[in-house]
Structure 1
Amino acid sequence: MTSTPDLPGPAESAPEQPTPVKSGKAAPARTRKRGERSGALTVSLTSSAEGDWTVEVLVGAKRVVSSTPVQATDVAAVSRSLPPAVAEVITSALVEARRRQQERVAQLREELAAAQRTLEQLGVD
């Protein structure tokens, strides 16, 4: 007689192997919506000596709006809705920029008048 090794039959199955368990915590599911950013929101309003205003926006360390020109009238309108201390600083900057522009206009008028006189003197009749 020949002997055959014991093999499991169709009704029998090999014993189940335990499934390996991963150690550590599972990564948390992402709950942020697409386009949503995390981090602090920083809005910077900047004035130049000439009275030009720009605004830029950062979310965390990422610049989401680069330096964009803003009209001084819009800055004045927004400043009225901010706390008084902030509005006072902005208003002061606007007043100083206006004063500098008035001086520049006066200087340009003088230069224009001088140029006009020179032009008249150079006139050929």
Structure 2
Amino acid sequence: MPPRTRAGASGLTAENLATLAAAIAEGRRSTVYLREAMPSLGLEAGTSAKALSVSGNTVVIRPKGVDDELPFEAEELLASRPKPAAGATPARAASKAGGTKTELAVHQGIEPGPPPAPKPRTSSAAPVAASSAEPPAPRKRAPAKKKAPAAVAVTIHAGADGEWSVAVTPGAKRPAKSTPVTADAVERAVRELGDPATVDAVESILAVARESAAAKVEELSRQLEEARAALEALGAAD
């Protein structure tokens, strides 16, 4: 399921869910809209989707241009297409105009003046001194590490025609109805699927989990050593 910043319009209300359920039961088309973008599927915020079923607070939808049926929480969907933020175009135009003025001012400020009169060279040491006075070149910043997503959802879809597909959604929430499994079982399963994007997404989550576990072990070891030292000190005092 999609990532989940909560900004802008609110999600589906209980009344919206009831209306959707009634329309689906009557065979009428029911359309909802995504609150947030789903880059992994190439979907933008506000993309329309067909509502297929409603179960409690969960709505199963098929987004436009996607063959998969995906479960979403009501708070992640909208009953109407969101409106674009007002004032975006004027602000962009103002920014462009401001940038042009700044560029002109800079060019005016760096016009070269008359060249200085040449000074007689007194010794060969002068160029060395001038060279040493030059400021050091700025240090290059190390490229920022790509931050792993906090969670991913791996969705496997099976069609009645016997076709199977797998999709990865970064930053997804845990579905309401899910069964716990072990990390090594998941890693073996995604490797068997043979999809590089799925393998990379799962391994990035496992790497973060390993680092967290290693840090916890290190902290507990440090606390254990401190406790032993304190116990030895108490024994020596006796």
**TM-score scaled by structure 1?**
0.47
Identify, as 1 or 2, the structure richer in helix: 2
Larger Rg: 1 or 2? 1
User: Which of the pair has the greater relative contact order for Cα pairs under 8 Å at 6+ separation?
Assistant: 2
**TM-score scaled by structure 2?**
0.26
